[in-house]
Structure 1
């Protein structure tokens, strides 16, 4: 067990932090929601009622979809785009999908390569693009969840204000939806750009996201 925890400590730690923060968000969100309920002369809701509400669902999903969008764009973008001096970039002369030899697929797959790396045709294409495709799928699903939950929350406010509810397609044209969406997209894109550029000049000793401390600023695609 100790060896398993050590060898999987990165995923386990961030998974545990995710659960703790999500629970914290739920309690803080309920408190904030109930404050607004009392201000408006309405009855506070229970914790279970809040975490199953459209308001909580929309808040969670809008953050998830922006994170998966970031990874989706970054995974495919770094196939063709480079940043001189950044460990987040491939080496400048390796732009593109690279050769079968470089990627160790097909005839160049080794004994320790995954089974699908030995395949050809559709199976190899799917495996060779599986990370980006899954991130894109997760983005699409979380975006859909956000739009549905956001529509339900929006319509609750519409009805409370004695206004007509909107359809799902109608909600996609509402400023509320795009305000929720774009404020998350811009923050994720800024974070990616900042990491790619700052890592040229700054270091974190021992981190796989940083160049070795003594590496030249111009060293590209080198990780510690």
Structure 2
């Protein structure tokens, strides 16, 4: 058991942090939303009803959407572009880190091509799925609010052009791109002993890669 926790500690710790944050989001989100409902003379939602509400699912999925976009972009761009001195980049003087190919490439070229890019493709698919679900539940949340104010509900395709949907997305996208860019640049000059996201402490700033 001790070996299991040692070998999987990073995933277990991040998973526990995710679940703790999710519970915190649910409880505080329910409380804040119910305060809003009561202010409009309506009854608050119990926990099961809140968990399937547009208010909760829209907020949840717009954040997942931005995270998957950030990871997909990071994986794909670091495969194509360089930043000399960054721990997050390949060395531009030695760009071909992966010279090995899967043994079945010549027999199944399409499958091999997909497998060689499967991480970026999977993250891109997760981003697109999250965006579509965010679009749907953001419309649901908007319609819930419209009904409270006696206004007509919107339609799915029309909502795709609504600035509210894109504001929700862009406000998260910009922060993801900023944090990724800062990690790329700060890892040129700064170190964190023991982290694979950092260059060795004694490495010069011009050293590129982990």
Place the TM-score, normalised by the shorter chain, in its bin.
over 0.9
Structure 2: state its 5+ residue gaps: none
Q: Does 1:158 align with 2:154?
A: no
Cα RMSD (Å): 1.2
Structure 1: state its 5+ residue gaps: 106-116
The size of the alignment, in residue pairs, is: 207
Compute the displacement of 1:132 (Å). 0.5
Q: Any runs of at least 4 consecutive aligned residues in structure 1 with deviations exceeding 6 A, and if so which?
A: none
- CA distance in structure 2 between the aligned counterparts of 1:103 and 1:29, rounded to whole angstroms: 49
The answer for the alignment partner of 2:85 in structure 1 is: 85
**2:119 corresponds to which of 131, 134, 137:** 131
- CA distance in structure 1 between the aligned counterparts of 2:113 and 2:173, rounded to whole angstroms: 29
Compute the displacement of 1:179 (Å). 0.9
The answer for the alignment partner of 2:68 in structure 1 is: 68
Compute the displacement of 1:42 (Å). 1.5
- CA distance in structure 2 between the aligned counterparts of 1:17 and 1:130, rounded to whole angstroms: 26
Write out per-residue CA displacement over residues 22-77 of structure 1, whole angstroms, 9 at most, x where no aligned residue: 01100010011111112222111111111111110000000000000001111111
- CA distance in structure 1 between the aligned counterparts of 2:188 and 2:168, rounded to whole angstroms: 32
Out of 34-43 and 145-154, give the one that drifted further: 34-43
Q: Does 1:168 align with 2:164?
A: no
- CA distance in structure 1 between the aligned counterparts of 2:42 and 2:153, rounded to whole angstroms: 20
Out of 156-165 and 169-178, give the one that drifted further: 156-165
The answer for the alignment partner of 1:202 in structure 2 is: 190
TM-score (norm: length of structure 2): 0.95
